[in-house]
Structures are given as C-alpha cells and as structure tokens.
C-alpha cells in the first residue's frame, strides 16, 4: 500500500486493545504456569527439607502464574473464557476454582483459615531457667495439587492452545517485520 502522494510506502499503525493485550500476557502467564507444573511433576517420592521448599516454589508459582490473568490488574481486564476462546468442562472449571482459592488463600496471601502450623518452645537442657527456648516450627507442607498433575497439564495445554490461536490471529494484522509495543519505561 502506498501513501496518498504515491511516493513512499504507507504503514498502517496497528494497536491492540486492552483485551488483546490481556490475551497476549495471559498466554505468557499460562506458559509460565505450565513450565512450573512441568518442573513440579519431577517431584521424587521422598523429599528432604530443602527439596521440599524447591518443589513448593514450583507448585506455588504454578498457581500464582495461572491465576494472574483471572485477577484484577491495573489497565487490563480480567481474562474471561470468551476472551481466551475456551469452554472449560466441569472438571476444568473445578481445577480453575481450586487454583484461585489456593492462590488467594495460601500461595500469594496468608489466610488464617487455611494455616496448619505448630510452634514449640524447645529447651536443649533440663535446666529450663538457664537456657533460652528455641522455636521449633512445624508447618503442613502437603502439596495441594500433587494428585492433579495430569489434569492440570491437560487443562493448561487446552487453554494455551486456544489463546495461541487468538494471538496468532492478532499478529496477522501487524505488517511484516514491524512490532506493536507496550513498555512502561518508554
């Protein structure tokens, strides 16, 4: 396409709506959740304390990353099923709801109603008055989604695939070798 004067090529300025930016960001978020789930799926049967914390990181970032597009954010709408181009089954919707509850009550926040912890004052000697009491803290370190790994994997792939189709269609509106950017530093 040429400009009105016929001398130079005209490039149409492409911009994306906040819904379209949400889909692009959501695709990244779901990919991050899928990667964290993939790392979590390598969990061995027996774990030491340090390994347990490492796998807790994978487990929790999976829930946080997945739920990010479905949460309130400044400037972007919450992701809806219609925006994502997917219709979840009842089981997928139940996983979605559980991920949200886990993220909101344990992974990204501390909800007293979901805490399982015990603190003991430990004394290293019989002379309790002469020695300080050391805190021994025991916390429930179970993994909420340990038994749901395959169902989560299938759901994340389904959601990712639907959003990839939407993003692919969006990119078709961008002239070759051009980019559309959003950058808070600019």
- What tens digit of pLDDT does each residue of 123-176 get? 776 666 667 777 777 666 678 899 999 999 999 999 999 999 999 999 998 888
Residue 4: partners with Cβ closer than 8 Å, 6 or more residues away: 10
Burial of 186 (0-12, 13-18, 19+ CB in 10 A): exposed
Q: CA distances (Å), 175 to each of 8, 21, 167, in order?
A: 15, 18, 15
Q: Tokens for 86?
A: 């997917």
Structural domains counted in the chain: 1
Q: How many CB atoms lie within 10 A of CB 69?
A: 25
Q: What are phi and psi of 40, to 5 degrees?
A: -65, -35
The tokens describing 54, both together, are 């490492």
Domain contains 4: no
89: in domain: yes
Determine, yes or no, domain membership for 69.
yes
Residue 126 placed within a domain: no
Rounded CA separation 88/102 (Å) = 19
Is 131 part of any domain?
A: no
In a domain, 97, yes or no: yes
Answer yes or no: are the C-beta atoms of 23 and 167 closer than 8 Å. yes
Residue 137: inside a domain? no
Low-confidence residues of the chain: pLDDT under 50: 1-4, 8-11
The pTM score is 0.79
Residue in the block written with tokens 């990204």: 108
Q: What pLDDT score was predicted for residue 128? A: 61
For residue 108, the 8-state DSSP code is S
**Is 54 domain-assigned?**
yes
What does the pLDDT read at residue 29?
97
- Please tell me the number of Cα atoms within 13 Å of 12 on its side-chain side: 9
Domain encompassing residue 71: 18-111+149-171
């Amino acid at each position: 396409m040429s400009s009105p004067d016929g001398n130079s090529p005209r490039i149409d300025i492409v911009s994306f709506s906040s819904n379209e930016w949400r889909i692009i960001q959501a695709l990244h978020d779901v990919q991050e959740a899928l990667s964290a789930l993939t790392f979590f799926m390598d969990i061995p049967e027996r774990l030491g304390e340090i390994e347990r914390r490492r796998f807790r990181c994978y487990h929790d970032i999976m829930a946080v990353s997945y739920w990010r597009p479905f949460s309130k954010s400044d400037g972007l709408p919450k992701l809806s099923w219609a925006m994502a181009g997917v219709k979840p089954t009842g089981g997928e919707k139940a996983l979605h709801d559980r991920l949200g509850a886990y993220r909101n009550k344990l992974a990204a926040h501390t909800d007293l109603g979901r805490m399982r912890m015990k603190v003991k004052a430990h004394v290293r000697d019989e002379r309790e008055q002469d020695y300080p009491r050391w805190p021994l803290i025991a916390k429930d370190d179970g993994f909420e989604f340990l038994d749901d790994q395959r169902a989560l994997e299938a759901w994340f792939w389904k959601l990712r695939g639907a959003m990839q189709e939407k993003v692919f269609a969006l990119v078709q509106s961008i002239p070759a070798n051009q980019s559309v950017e959003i950058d808070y530093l600019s």
